Chains A and B, each alone.
Chain A
Amino acid sequence: KNQVEQSPQSLIILEGKNCTLQCNYTVSPFSNLRWYKQDTGRGPVSLTIMTFSENTKSNGRYTATLDADTKQSSLHITASQLSDSASYICVVSDRGSTLGRLYFGRGTQLTVWP
């Protein structure tokens, strides 16, 4: 069964600190993995995308890693800011269907305190 599991479910950190969010998946055949940021009451916005051959991708203070062998990904946030408070969703796409099926994790709810 294709699944995406994220940990931790929630995380509270102080402003300026770093944090790492985890994502494990069983989706096969694998196409790509995205990390989305979803602010409260808003739709998800893509942060990074990685294909099978990529193992690191950065977008400003966000750095995503991918280990396709162990089917794990992480999102590292450096020097957190209050605006980083949001849900971070790991989304894995398969290449076995014309739709390009997406599998969503439940997200990690990050809260940054001043």
Chain B
Amino acid sequence: EADIYQTPRYLVIGTGKKITLECSQTMGHDKMYWYQQDPGMELHLIHYSYGVNSTEKGDLSSESTVSRIRTEHFPLTLESARPSHTSQYLCASSELRDRGSNEQFFGPGTRLTVL
């Protein structure tokens, strides 16, 4: 079954630690996205990718970095986590040529808490 996966679902970590949030999709989508969402607030785009070796920064400035070495995999890394990074991180994907509907399929999210 085609789907989009995120691990871990929940992460509690101390300040200064390096973390990587994993995102994988089995739909063969070229476009992938990372969003940050705080409670009661809208989703903010922090990174996106058009395909392998393509990464771009989104609208919301983020200290995180991303990589796209394989089509199905789009991990997000924080070199030194801080309490201000506490948030929910959502990964999404869509077809490259589907400009008509622009449907993005979302993963379940990773709830990150930095102490």
Contacts and interface: CB of A to CB of B under 8 A. Distances in A.
A4 B107 CA distance: 23
Nearest to A42: B108
Contacts of A104: 42-43
A49 B101 CA distance: 8
B60 to A, nearest CB: 12
Interface in A59-112: 89, 93, 95, 98-100, 102, 104-107, 109
A97 to B, nearest CB: 10
A93 B42 contact: no
A43 B107 contact: yes
A32 B108 contact: no
A57 to B, nearest CB: 12
Interface residues of A, number: 25
B106 A45 contact: yes
B94 to A, nearest CB: 8
Nearest to A34: B103
B113 to A, nearest CB: 13
A66 B101 CA distance: 16
A89 B99 CA distance: 20
B112 to A, nearest CB: 13
A9 B39 CA distance: 12
B41 A100 contact: no
Contacts of A43: 4, 90-92, 106-109
A54 to B, nearest CB: 12
A107 B90 CA distance: 16
A102 B102 contact: yes
B111 interface: yes
Interface of B: 4, 9, 31, 40-43, 45, 48, 90-92, 94, 99-104, 106-109, 111
A-B complex: 5 closest residue pairs judged by Cβ atoms: A43-B106, A100-B102, A104-B42, A93-B102, A104-B43
Given A9-B40, A41-B9, A41-B111, 11 more contacts: A31-B102, A32-B100, A32-B102, A34-B103, A41-B109, A43-B109, A44-B90, A89-B43, A95-B99, A98-B99, A100-B94
